[in-house]
Amino acid sequence: MAEIRVFAVDTEICAGHGRCYALAPESFEPDDSGYAEPTGRDESGRPQTEIDQIIGTCPEEAISVASAPVASEA
């Protein structure tokens, strides 16, 4: 099974500043309450420096990158 890299947000500590979706609107969007919600976009091709910048923009350190399985097409 193949894997992709996606952003994850710890909803327990996200304070809804919106810096992540302002910096990377293709990867995050606000939910109905204004808190960050990852779009599930594959970040495998994004340079690590950009990923680090996006993660570093969160004052609560609520953003991380996780591997997610993807079913391979048969």
Ordered domains of the chain (ranges, CATH): 2-70 (3.30.70.20)
- What global pTM score does this model have? 0.86
CA distance 71 to 49: 28
Give which of 13, 58, 6, 11 is closest to 31, Cα–Cα. Answer: 11
CA distance 74 to 53: 36
Each residue's pLDDT tens digit in the chain (74 positions)? 688 999 999 999 999 999 999 999 999 999 999 999 999 999 999 999 999 999 999 999 999 999 988 876 65
User: Three-state SS for 66?
Assistant: strand
